[in-house]
Amino acid sequence: MDLDALPSGDESEGAPLIVSPLESALARQRALPSVLHQMRELLRRGAIMLARHPWLAVGHLGSAVILGLLMGGMYHNLDSCSTQPKDLECQPDFDGVWNRAGAFFFMLAFLSLGSMSAIESFHRERSLYCRERASGYYSPLAYLIPKLLLDWLPMRILPSIILGSIIYHKFSLFGHFEFGMGLNAGLDHFALFLSMLVLFNVCAANLCVTLGVLFPTFGPAILIGILLTLFFMAFGGIVLRMDNMPKGFMWCRWLSPFSAAYEVLMINEIGGRTVLFNPVDQDGNPMCNVPETGEVLLRNMGLVPTAWQKELDIWVLSGLTVLFLATALAALVWIVKERR
């Protein structure tokens, strides 16, 4: 039998064209635009949606301004200058170090809890993502990157910069009222301070995005997010001293973004400075004024005030940021799929 004499699917009148699933997938793959084109279109669509519904971004920016103004008024008098020698300029003291520690930890807690809004942003589009990915419109990577960029810039990066910029410097309002914390002077210290707030906020947001991807419903995702935040706070360095942690739990500090960010902020602020150790007695009267290096005081707080440790903490926080991002991408690829 001559096989060439048989009519093909294209030549037969009314015969259906049979295409295998593999051929269909390959054809759809060839028809897909480039990943950059997919990301550009998704970024454009996301920007339009953000412009139509800006209230979440406005809320993050507004809360950063309000908290900055509140903290600038609360912490404008960090150090107990009244108990220091009158013939010397007021300088950081024992009370001021603990005030700084509390302020830094409070800021990190605020940013971490605020980042949970990232959970809801993915849940709102979960079914849409499943349908569009099943139809071959874009890849998981092309979807995730624009989604994160539109979350990071208006709700993580800008609020962190606004909050840090408001509280960092001290200045007088109307010649009477002092405002701001008056932290360590110098552009390098200020830049590192803002960078750590931004990196920590992005890391916390990546964790929340990962939870939003892993859990199909909002309730379990937000519950696990709160529990993880409390767990990370417990090993952050102020609730429990890092050097007093049981050996069986020592590894937990390396999983905590609070631990890395808090230690860098404290080293950046106190390291290399002279700090007055000025305790008071039971009646509140000053007992002594002993100048110590900032490193000595940080050691007694359970921190490791070395340049190597500071760089290590920055790398740990950066690694956790990338780890959470990679976990979210893996979940998008293998877990979040359309069920038929």
- pTM summary value: 0.86
Amino acid (one-letter) located at 153: L
| DSSP codes, 266-285 | HHHHHTTSEEEE--B-TTS-
Contact 191/183 with Cβ under 8 angstroms? Answer: no
Q: What is the pLDDT of residue 75?
A: 87
Contact 73/174 with Cβ under 8 angstroms? Answer: no
> How far does CA 20 lie from the centroid of its chain?
46
Q: What is the pLDDT of residue 85?
A: 58
Q: How many helices (H) and strands (E) does the chain have?
A: 13, 4
CA dist 332 and 35 (Å) reads 16
- Residue 340, token pair as written in the block: 């038929």
What residues in the chain have per-residue pLDDT under 50?
Answer: 1-19, 22-24, 26-27, 30
Q: What is the pLDDT of residue 48?
A: 95
- Residue 207, token pair as written in the block: 């964790």
With 0-12 / 13-18 / 19 or more C-beta atoms within 10 angstroms meaning exposed / middle / buried, residue 261 is: buried
Q: What is the pLDDT of residue 255?
A: 93
CA dist 108 and 106 (Å) reads 5
Q: What is the pLDDT of residue 90?
A: 62
